[in-house]
Chains A and B, each alone.
Chain A
Amino acid sequence: MRPFQFSRAPSLSEASHQTAGDNTLAIAGGTNLLDLMKLQVETPSQLVDINRLGFADIEDTDDGGLRLGALATNTETAVHARVRADYPVLSRAILAGATQQLRNKATNGGNLCQRTRCFYFTNIDQPCNKRDPGSGCGAIDGIAKLHAILGTSDQCIATYPGDMAVALSALGATVQISGGKGERSVPVRDFHLLPGDTPWIENVLEPGEIITGIVLPAPVGGTQIYRKVRERSSYAFALVSVAAIIELTDGKFSRADLAFGGLAHKPWHDPRVGECLLGQPPSAELFEKAADILLKDAHGFGENDFKIPLTRRTLHAVLAQATEDAA
């Protein structure tokens, strides 16, 4: 690890001021950042410890929703009584990721900001436009098994690796952000960015901005499923994942909130996929139509071509399960 200065922020405003500085990063759980610092993928000159700033509570909101403190751990969130009861897709998504030791340390804010696990990004001897702009993308013609099939660019085909944010996207959650210019809220669906020509910019956070919380809207009920397909049954990143909140009324879809992991540089949410289901009775033909819409612009890079049929089948299976459970 390269040498760095370490300070503990005495207040949120001071943390914001300090992290606005050059090559300065906030550290919370640190499970991803310290790993990348050991690999010298991240080489900050200063770390600002924000762990004791206090926004770790999980509390009810006035409109019946729930606010998850950015510094609450993934475990505290997944096992919280209201998350389990009212937002089970979120508990399930968190529990499907990483290991208990990592979830015990990793925070909600940090989870949103975690970096891709693209092998070219994490190996400093390889080209990567995300880590070293202009050096090229090793994955496009290389080992691309984990890589994206939607929203890629000729600069980067990395995926966003997390599970939690996929469920947050399906739930329509909002990220609360504090910075030098004050406070703002950004829907989770708009928080992460596609790679385009600037793959090193992964989310909307400006220098000095810090995530303080995630707000879940009032619970909507429904049948909630998080289905994660991976190469081993525990402690592996998603090849494909589906977060689904499904409700049937009089035998027809009255709610179909869907988000997908493992497919893109961000949790993938295409409103047309759910909309095509609404008002229709469940059927295999309808599920295929939803998959057609989702995958219309999908394309693989050789090793990850399998993700296109795998996504189709996983979506089909989730919709079949959800409509059986809901019927």
Chain B
Amino acid sequence: MADTITVNGTAHPIPDDPRVSLLDFLRQHIGLTGTKKGCDHGQCGACTVIVNGIRINSCLTLAAMHDGDSVTTIEGLGTPDEPSALQRAFLEHDGFQCGYCTPGQICSATAMLEELGADWPSDASESLEGRIAISGEEIRERMSGNLCRCGAYANIVAAIEEVAAGGQS
């Protein structure tokens, strides 16, 4: 049986050329172009996807290293008719201008809310122990791997803060 990667619930064979990054696999081999290529060096976060529940830069890993893994991309989070809570919040808060970074921002934020829920500390956390108090500072630090060249950060933080607060209430 060929090695496969499951993307948004569907298994796909891994290409023969080992140079294919997970990002290029998603975009060019299986046609899921929601995930974006910005810098291709792990600096901008536009390529962020969720692999086995954990957010990573899909540009800095090889498809060949992900046999049997389960990947969630922006296409797997929601649809235009049924957006995820974060997708809806980004629309409501105008959390983008050109939109190129947005799929990476939303994939990143989706996994980040799970990390907050698990009380993983960040560099901005006062204490390494206990519940993490959600704040703009925490969100900015935890989202520092996602750049927005339009500078929509204020609205991105507002969108994430709303969903994070909803999840806690």
Interface residues, chain A, with chain B CB atoms under 8 Å away: 1, 3-6, 27, 29-31, 34-35, 38, 47, 49, 51, 75, 78-79, 84-85, 88, 91-92, 95-96, 98-102, 104-105, 233-235
Contacts and interface: CB of A to CB of B under 8 A. Distances in A.
Contact of B21 (A3, A34, A49): A34
A106 to B, nearest CB: 9
Given A35-B42, A235-B144, A105 B57 contact: yes
B103 to A, nearest CB: 14
Interface string B103-117: 000001000100100
Contact of A101 (B19, B21, B56, B129): B56
Interface stretch (B28-36, B58-66, B161-169): B58-66
A27 B60 CA distance: 12
A4 B123 contact: no
B129 A85 contact: yes
Interface in B1-35: 18-19, 21
A210 B121 CA distance: 30
Nearest to B58: A101
Contacts of B54: 75, 104
Contacts of A5: 18
B87 interface: no
Interface in B112-169: 112, 115, 118, 120-123, 125, 128-129, 140-142, 144-145
Contacts, number: 91
B36 to A, nearest CB: 14
B73 interface: no
B55 A6 contact: no
B145 A101 contact: yes
A162 to B, nearest CB: 15
Contacts of A3: 19
A85 B121 CA distance: 12
B45 interface: yes
A100 B55 contact: yes
A101 B55 contact: yes
Nearest to A79: B120
Contacts of B123: 92, 95-96, 234
A307 B6 CA distance: 48
Interface of B: 18-19, 21, 40-42, 45, 48, 54-57, 60-62, 64-65, 108, 112, 115, 118, 120-123, 125, 128-129, 140-142, 144-145
A51 B67 CA distance: 11
A6 B62 contact: yes
B128 A34 contact: no
A27 B57 CA distance: 16
Contact of B121 (A79, A101, A102, A105): A79
A100 B57 contact: no
Contact of B48 (A6, A88, A101): A101
B12 to A, nearest CB: 18
Contact of B42 (A49, A95, A102): A102
Nearest to A88: B128
Given A6-B62, A27-B65, A30-B65, A101 B120 contact: no
11 contacts: A4-B19, A5-B18, A31-B61, A47-B18, A75-B120, A88-B128, A91-B121, A96-B123, A98-B145, A99-B145, A234-B144
A50 to B, nearest CB: 10
A206 B123 CA distance: 35
Nearest to A47: B18
Contacts of A104: 54-56
Contacts of A233: 141
Contact of A100 (B62, B112, B140): B112
